[in-house]
Structure 1
Amino acid sequence: MQELDHTNGNYIENKTAKIYFEETGNPQNTPLLLTHGAFGNLEDFNLIVSKLIKDFRVIAIDSRGHGKSTLGDKELSYELLQSDVEAVLNHLQLAEIDMIGISDGGIIGYRLACYSNIKINKLITISSRWDYGNVLATKELLKNEDADYRRKNNPEPYHQYQKLNPEPNFDLLTEQLHKMWFKKESYPAGDVKNIKSETLIIKGDKDKVIQRSFVFDVAEFIPNSNLMVVPFAKHLVYKEEPEILMKAINEFLA
């Protein structure tokens, strides 16, 4: 099995940043794009990628400013992250994919399904917002989680970032992410009703960042959607319950 390990990837340049990506799996099979969440990197998918590489051509991207991807000099937005993903897929000459996005990566998935020329046949979002009201509802949870808080309370992602990133600036990355989360225009909001992809929406029942109403509402908006709430799991449901997730993911992608 070829895990995602930051040793066998490539870079493309897009809008002042170098975006790092890796491929694994069977290059003859359906392309499956993986996009991680804030403060993570493509290795976050290793708990589930071993169950995917037999049946898919897996493409995993380090989001701008994360992992081995540089931040560039443009202010972060979900539009910009969408552009980075499109640049990688265009480089690979892929116009049609399946996709799994975690948290911020899921928001990119919603945006691609709404606005991109790249066709997403099957979209899975895990622990993801979709509307500006979602982030306002959890503002109190997010406002005090600055760079110092994250260094102290989430040291493993911080140290991995410091190790991997070619131009580390954790304070700036944290500042940029917080600004991005509160950009109203970045969220697809009601446009999700135009998503034609078959969609699987997943959340952990105990996730305080993604409230139940967020996923219930978006599941009602998206015409061809499925909803999965994982009992007792929190925001990192993909780490807490990988076996439960993979059962649903494999059935959905089959």
Structure 2
Amino acid sequence: MPFLKINGIDLHYEVHGSGEPLVLIHGLGSSLEDWAFQVPAFQREFQVITCDCRGHGKSSKQRKASSIELFANDMAELIAHLRIRPPHVVGISMGGMIAMELALNHPKSLQTLTLVNCVPNVVVRPVTLLKRWFVLNILGMKSLARRLARSLLPDPQQHALRDELIKRWQQNDRRSYKSATHAILEWSAIGRLSAITVPVAVVSSEYDYWSLDLKKRLFQPVPDITFYELSRAHHLPTLEYPEAFNTLLYDILRSFPGKAPG
């Protein structure tokens, strides 16, 4: 169980397979365990690197103020520590925001960028945020985990996976979760996207929080970008439809000129 001491924390990470390096960055309240359907599929051709972002999983708790920039700095330090070639970087939701910040502040740390169901700026209605804080502060992390699992994986046939995710997500540290949420709400890449120099792919689920059309408008300034849509999927296609997601991601990685394995 490797840990890396960086930026005042112990960062838990895992490396599987060999080949072109592929970094997978999870979302809010998640952990490297939520890539369980991707690691076995890609480690046959890639060196797959996952980590628990600060305040998540087995990494140190983050009870002080945080920022997406700080998350990205952690990723840059991890990549440097591993002494790997600039990797393909894939981020989902908050992980996509971290990946964008990595591309903006550490452009030599990656070679391609794949963003799954994320936007360069999150605007939340105050009433929505108040409802989440109420559930978190009054009812607790387990109640929030249940609500999230029901909304993100609505298919009744996925009850076993939902139950597993509830067990996993309810273990989140409440203060670390709030710190990461504030980091998301205080972050924006609007006005900076034209500075991204690596090829970018944006994956949008049909039933994501943000539509494909909205993503196309928001990401328009990115110089080299391609958009893809996953039908039927909600916010977490990596868990909901892993086979379809893995097929699409593999096709995306092969599509980057001169970047994917042969």
Structure-2-length-normalised TM-score: 0.81
Q: 1:106 to 1:139 in 2, by over 3 A?
A: farther
* Partner SS for 1:47: coil
Tell me whether 1:246 sits opposite 2:246 in the alignment: yes
Deviation track 1:31-61 (CA, whole Å, cap 9, x = no partner) reads 1111100111001111122221111111101
| Aligned equivalent of 2:41 | 51
Structure 1 CA distance, aligned partners of 2:182 and 2:252?
34
Q: Does 1:136 align with 2:126?
A: no
Which structure exhibits the higher relative contact order, with contacts defined as CA atoms closer than 8 Å and separated by 6 or more residues? 2
Count of residues in Structure 1 that have an aligned counterpart in Structure 2: 233
Q: Displacement, 1:246?
A: 1.7
1:174 is displaced (CA, Å) by 2.6
Tell whether 2:78 aligns with 1:75. Answer: no
Aligned residue runs from structure 1 range 119-134, under 5 A: 119-131=109-121
**CA deviation digits over 1:113-133, x for unaligned, max 9?**
1121433222111111212xx
Specify every segment of 5 or more residues in structure 2 that has no aligned partner in the other structure, as ranges: 147-163, 255-262
The CA deviation at 1:213 is 4.2
Question: Structure 2 vs 1, CA of residues 47 and 112 (structure 1 numbering), >3 Å: closer, same or farther?
Answer: same
How many angstroms does 1:103 deviate by? 0.7
CA distance in 1, matches of 2:190, 2:125: 16
Q: Does 1:160 align with 2:147?
A: no
Identity, in percent, stands at 22
1:16–1:72: 8 Å Cα contact kept in structure 2? no
Question: Which residue of structure 2 aligns with residue 85 of structure 1?
Answer: 75
Contact 1:33 1:59 survives alignment (8 Å):
yes
The reply to whether residue 104 of structure 1 matches residue 94 of structure 2 is yes
Return the TM-score normalized by structure 1: 0.83
SS at match of 2:49: strand
Pair 1:113–1:52, CA change in 2 (3 A): same
Residue equivalent to 1:203: 204
Counterpart code for 1:160 = R
User: What does residue 175 of structure 1 align with?
Assistant: 178
Query: In 2, distance between residues paired with 1:225 and 1:143?
Result: 35
State the secondary structure of the residue aligned to 2:191: helix
Confirm or deny that 1:15 pairs with 2:22. Answer: no
2:142 is aligned, of 142, 146, 151, to: 151
Worse overlay, 114-123 or 30-39: 114-123
